[in-house]
Structure 1
Amino acid sequence: MTGEMSIERAKTHLEAWYDAELKVSTGQSYTIAGRTLTRVNLPEIRKQIEYWENRIARMKSRGRSRVRRIIPRDI
Structure 2
Amino acid sequence: MAGITLADAEARLAQWLEADAAVASNQSYTVQSPAGGGRTLTRADSGEIRRNIDYWNGWCVRLGGTALANGIRVTHVVPA
Match of 1:70 in 2: none
Aligned residues with identical type, % of pairs: 27
Equivalent residue number for residue 48 of structure 1: 52
Provide the residue aligned with 1:16 in structure 2. 15
Larger radius of gyration: 1
Give the length in aligned residue pairs: 55
Question: Unaligned 5+ residue runs, structure 2?
Answer: 29-39, 67-74
Residue 70 of structure 2 aligns with which residue? Answer: none
Classify the secondary structure of the residue corresponding to 2:65: helix
TM-score by length of 2: 0.57
Offset at 1:39? 1.7
Q: How does 1:24-35 map to 2 (within 5 A)?
A: 24-27=23-26
Match of 2:3 in 1: 4
Deviation for aligned residue 1:6: 1.4
CA distance in 1, matches of 2:61, 2:53: 12
For normalisation by structure 1, the TM-score amounts to 0.60
Higher strand share: 2
Q: Give the superposed CA RMSD.
A: 2.4
